[in-house]
Amino acid sequence: MYRGREGQWAFLLHRLSGLAILAYLLLHVFSIGSFMFGERFYMAIHHTYDLWPFRVGLVFVTAGVVYHAFNGLRIIVMDFTGAGVAYQRQMWYGVLLISAASFVYAAVSLYPRLVGGY
């Protein structure tokens, strides 16, 4: 069921998106938490985060969180119901579809910020 098939890719993407979200979370907690050092410090970090790789990264983070969330639900369904295992491939394609849709949605709604910054 697993090797080289959908299950393996689902597992790999779940891990990669999880580690990427964790990296984002660490940066996010640091940047938002830094407001306790005052506005100047907070804005210095946020000007760094306004560089284009971070702006493009927002789109990937949104899609990554949606993938991780819905694939996590798929895992829970597989773990706790017998029927979930039988439909894990179909569910995975559903998860991919939702993730792609949220990628496009985030890219469209963030477009002004992607090209213009704040």
Partner 1 sequence: MIRARTFTDARQQAHSNAELNWWVFMRISGLILVFLVLGHIYMTFIQVSEADATFDAVVGKLANPAWKFYDWLILSLALLHGANGARYSIEDYVRSRPGRAWVKGVFYSVVALLFAFGTIGLFSI
Q: Is residue 53 at the binding interface for partner 1, with CB under 8 A as the rule?
A: no
Q: Which residue has the tokens 């949104």?
A: 62
The answer to whether residues 107 and 55 touch, using CB atoms and an 8 Å cutoff, is no
Q: Which one of residues 8, 12, 15, 111 is an interface residue with partner 1 (CB under 8 A)?
A: 15
Nearer to partner 1, 25 or 93 (CB): 25
Residue 13 or 78: which CB sits closer to partner 1? 78
CA pseudo-torsion sign 55, 56, 59, 62:
negative
Exactly one of 62, 63, 95, 99 binds partner 1 (CB under 8 A); which one?
A: 62
